[in-house]
Chains A and B, each alone.
Chain A
Amino acid sequence: MHKYKETKEKIFNAYSKTISKAKPAKLKEYGLDFALAGREGVKVTDTEGRQYFDCYCSGGQQVLGNYRHEVQDAFREALKQYDLGNFILMSAQKAALAKLLSDITPGNLKHTVFGVGRGETNDFAMKLARGATGRKEIVCFAGGSHGQTGFALSASADPRQEKHFGPLIPGIRRIAPAVDAVEEAVTGSTAAVIVEPIQSDAGVVALPSNLLQAIRAACSRHGAALIVDEGQCAFGRTGLLFECMRQGIQPDILTVAKGMGGTYYPISATIFNSRLNRFMLTHTLIHLSTFGGADLGCVVAIATIEIIRKNRLWDNARVRGAELTKGLQELAAADPEQFAAVRGEGLMLGLQLTDAAAAARFTTRLAAKGVIALPTTLDPRVIRFTPPIDITADQTAELLNLITAAMKDQ
């Protein structure tokens, strides 16, 4: 669109003047001081025509690359008829997406309240658990990260947040991700336990199976709600449609966000079982979201989920993820002084270096080869790779070649 074809210099001037100087400066340290101008498949293009292999994907949000045009077509079609819709009214689009979510989510998750971002959906999940149980305590984990809005922030493990923005929500207790800590912390006063099956921002740490089982058991024993935050995992990224299916742990409340809008529309959802819905039936208009579950967003999300299901993209994420993991492991093994570990599931992978400085240096070398992958916020030793889940075998091989070149280029 000709209207938005400014030069890099003009964009950076305006951005620095009105939005931030420090944010682009940080990216410049990595050599990633470009202005985004478009996308093609799994790559992004900058204003100067340079292509980058996108393994950051706005924190895993750009879930589709090669199939993106199909979502685009669905959006274009929806634009002929729909708009945001009135949040207070019933909506056939909301109903259809809620039904679809009920059908594809595990177990007895049935009812949906829509949101627009990840934080909002976790805020509502914690509110719902408090409201339904009449209890106050929420147990969360060190290394957890649930979003930026009030409750989500209070349950996240970034100490800078409490320092600058506290005091935060009382009654939220952070514990170590360990079975004995769970057994001790979850009691008859616990409203909910909120957990990410894979702690993405803390360096892509998959929580062990026995811990997740113990959390489920403790919640059941004490009548607390288990909130599984799949804001970054869901819709195929980890090799399954939902990550909680791997451990067979049944959430009482499941939150989903990134990926759901098919890279075209912000939408998130809190999905819960009928016991929790009792609270919503008696408190109908207690939680509202103007933009959440917009009619257009629902149509786009339905199209996205259908594309993922039709093509079994979780299988692709698992296979490509295994190829990428194998490649990274071989490279890491060749240079143990720099590379400590490769971990993750499907296409949510973390490459751990020996320290944060090494990770920063390697991020810069990747950028020089045209690969965008950034260190995680809570553990800057780990570089996260979350390419689109529809990446092909050839594209994966190409990506590995670029990473190999970055490793050799000392």
Chain B
Amino acid sequence: MKSETATRQKKDGIKSFQKYVNYTQSVFLKTVDLDLLEDQRQGVNVWDLGTEYSYIDCFCSAGSFNVGRRNPRIVRALEKALDQWNMGEHLFPSAPKAALAEKLAAISPPGLKNVLFGVGGGEAIDSAIKMARGVTGKKKIISLAKAYHGHTGFALSAIGKAVYRDPFEPLMPGFSHETAINDLEAIATATDDDTAAIILELVQGEGGIFVAEQVFVEGLRRLCDDKGMMLIFDEVQTGFGRTGKMFCCEHYGVYPDLFVLAKSLGGALYPISAVIYSDQIRTFMEENPELIESTSGGSDLGCIVGCETIDFLLENDIPGHAAAMGDYIGEGLLNLATKHEGLVKEVRRKGLMIGLEYTHDMMGPLMSYYLGKNGVLAIFSANNPKVMRFMPPIVINRDEADKLLAAVDRSMASVMRSSRIITRAVKLPLVGKVLGVQEMQVFLILFTKTVAKIIPKKRGSQAL
């Protein structure tokens, strides 16, 4: 829907974003041709304001749109709820809160029937870590290398990537994050009598889609039982059908003491998160009822959206659908990896939580760029540019999946072509000619202007 008004709106929107939100982010997105402003959103698709372009959303706010964008059933439920409800009163019980808590307890694994609401993922992780420290009376928290848990104080302390933590140190004492996923022995060595909890994502999302192995997860459960430690699963990205089951831990048949839900609980419309926890921890929570509060957490509207989201997923067996579509798209990507030999190092996935690792750092940004041109929104990891996540809405159908795979095919062909140009160009002594190649510019702009700047330099003390 290209109109003059929309074009102007887009131009003004971008200008304001640069001025009042973040200039570098806008440059970063422009470089990979993803400087769109989201206009219409429907199902797996999003349209750019002021242009004719539409994109299949494979980022989905890192897996927040499992039910699809603007799922009509959930939009209707929220619209209707506005007649009677708003955010409510965080201290007082209400029918929506009770209903969502009951629903979450009903779909959660055995032994996990207690609910604490929050409003964001980071906050819920902070709560879970607090609860683990509180109930055990111990201090140490072990997370994994490459772990990603959020940006609030406790969650940030548990992040496994130094780049997110460094400028803000010193963070919470007692946190360690050196152990790689699936290295049970190293984790066992890292624990001691003062270890309160081990926290992990069963599929590391931001870290690059690394999947925990069955023996590792079983081993962690045993280890925690032996040493009286809490096992915390961060199911913020893996929850609500993303991996082909309602919760990822169901694949393993291994259950934690606490698990954390956010993102897709909000039905792509409303912020809400939750910690689901064991009866042992409930005792601590009942003894200390005023320790953890969240004014905006578990708001009445958020609970109504959460209820409708869960009903939608259950009634349509969307987790089962995600498993089937995960197989289909996963297979398709593997075939494309074979077809465009030398481009993809590995396809890693669980259900529709899919990660492609390319053979070279420059491939990620180039793929983002070409995928954008081919109508797919997929973003490489800023801290590991050769890894790209594909997390489309899990309601994606066969036709849409075929469209997605065709776009990946075309993009891979373009990247193969340009990487040949780059390989050749690099050999030329004439720098000017190298810079004349458009793909090389993309690569250079990206690395000099953005990625390089995201990596913080050592800095001394300085006055404002």
List A residues at the B interface (Cβ < 8 Å): 1, 4-6, 10-12, 14-15, 17-27, 32, 34-39, 44, 47, 54, 56-59, 61-62, 68, 72, 75-76, 79, 81-92, 94-96, 98-99, 101-102, 110-113, 115-120, 123-124, 127, 130-136, 148-154, 160-161, 164-171, 188-189, 222-225, 252, 258, 261, 263-266, 275-276, 279-292, 294-297, 374, 377
Contacts and interface: CB of A to CB of B under 8 A. Distances in A.
A67 B113 CA distance: 39
Contact of A90 (B17, B292, B377): B17
A18 B102 contact: yes
Contacts of B60: 86
A297 B78 CA distance: 14
Contact of B120 (A113, A117, A130): A117
Interface of B: 9-10, 12-14, 16-17, 19-26, 28-29, 34-38, 40-41, 46, 49, 57, 59-62, 64-65, 69-70, 75, 78-99, 101-102, 104-105, 113-123, 126-127, 130, 133-134, 139, 151-157, 163-164, 167-174, 262-263, 266, 268-271, 285-297, 299-302, 304, 377, 379, 382, 450, 453-454, 456, 459-464
A152 B153 contact: yes
23 contacts: A6-B99, A19-B116, A47-B95, A68-B86, A79-B75, A83-B268, A86-B57, A90-B21, A98-B20, A110-B19, A117-B118, A123-B153, A153-B126, A160-B288, A160-B291, A164-B288, A261-B87, A263-B86, A265-B87, A281-B23, A282-B453, A282-B456, A295-B38
B40 A81 contact: yes
A167 B173 contact: yes
Contacts of A286: 163-164, 167, 454, 456
Q: Top 3 A-B pairs ranked by shortest CB distance?
A: A150-B153, A223-B463, A92-B13
A193 B69 CA distance: 41
B167 A130 contact: yes
A123 B151 contact: yes
Contacts of A83: 41, 65, 69-70, 268-269
A96 B98 CA distance: 36
Contact of B49 (A92, A119, A168): A92
B123 A58 contact: no
B300 A36 contact: yes
B94 A36 contact: yes
Given A116-B119, A117-B297, A290-B262, A14 B454 contact: no
A117 B139 contact: no
Residue from A32, A86, A98, A297 with most neighbouring chain B CB atoms (10 Å): A86
B94 A133 contact: no
Nearest to B263: A290
Given A92-B13, A223-B462, A150 B155 contact: yes
A218 to B, nearest CB: 13
Contacts of B133: 164-166
A160 B290 CA distance: 10
Contacts of A95: 13-14, 16-17, 20-21
A291 B93 contact: no
A83 B442 CA distance: 31
Nearest to A261: B87
Given A86-B60, A266-B299, A280-B22, A289 B461 contact: no
A364 to B, nearest CB: 15
A88 B379 contact: yes
Nearest to A252: B464
B454 A23 contact: no
B291 A161 contact: yes
Nearest to B39: A81
B14 A90 contact: yes
B120 A26 contact: no
A36 B92 contact: yes
B84 A1 contact: yes
Contact of A91 (B12, B17, B126, B130): B17
Contacts of A160: 288, 291
B20 A24 contact: no
Contact of A36 (B46, B88, B292): B88
Contacts of A136: 169-170
A37 to B, nearest CB: 7
Given A23-B289, A165-B130, 19 more contacts: A18-B101, A23-B290, A34-B92, A58-B88, A88-B59, A89-B38, A92-B10, A92-B16, A94-B17, A123-B151, A130-B167, A149-B126, A149-B153, A164-B133, A188-B461, A266-B302, A280-B22, A282-B456, A296-B269
Contacts of A99: 16, 19-20
Contact of B98 (A10, A21, A22, A134): A10
A169 B288 CA distance: 22
Contacts of B69: 83
A258 B90 CA distance: 13
Contact of A11 (B14, B83, B94, B171): B94
Contact of A116 (B75, B114, B172, B271): B271
B34 A266 contact: no
B13 A290 contact: no
A207 B94 CA distance: 36
A14 B102 contact: yes
A150 B172 contact: yes
Nearest to A82: B41
Contacts of B134: 164-165
Contact of A148 (B79, B168, B294): B294
B282 to A, nearest CB: 9
A260 B301 CA distance: 16
Contacts of B459: 134
A381 to B, nearest CB: 16
A135 B262 contact: no
B82 A282 contact: no
B38 to A, nearest CB: 6
Given A98-B20, A120-B152, A258 B84 contact: no
A61 B123 contact: no
Nearest to B95: A4
Nearest to A54: B89
A115 B304 CA distance: 22
A154 B262 CA distance: 24
Given A36-B300, A61-B295, A88-B59, A134 B460 contact: yes
B24 A284 contact: yes
Contacts of B294: 117, 148
Contact of A26 (B20, B289, B377): B289
Given A15-B93, A96-B16, A111-B21, A291 B266 contact: yes
Contacts of A133: 461-464
Contacts of B460: 134
Nearest to A38: B84
A111 B119 contact: no
Nearest to B459: A134
Nearest to A22: B289
A289 B464 CA distance: 25
Given A95-B13, A99-B20, A135 B461 contact: yes
A115 B295 CA distance: 14
B263 A148 contact: no
Contact of A18 (B96, B113, B464): B113
Contacts of A377: 290
Contacts of A32: 92
Contact of A171 (B78, B170, B379): B170
A283 B454 contact: yes
A124 to B, nearest CB: 7
Contacts of A19: 93, 97-98, 101, 114-117
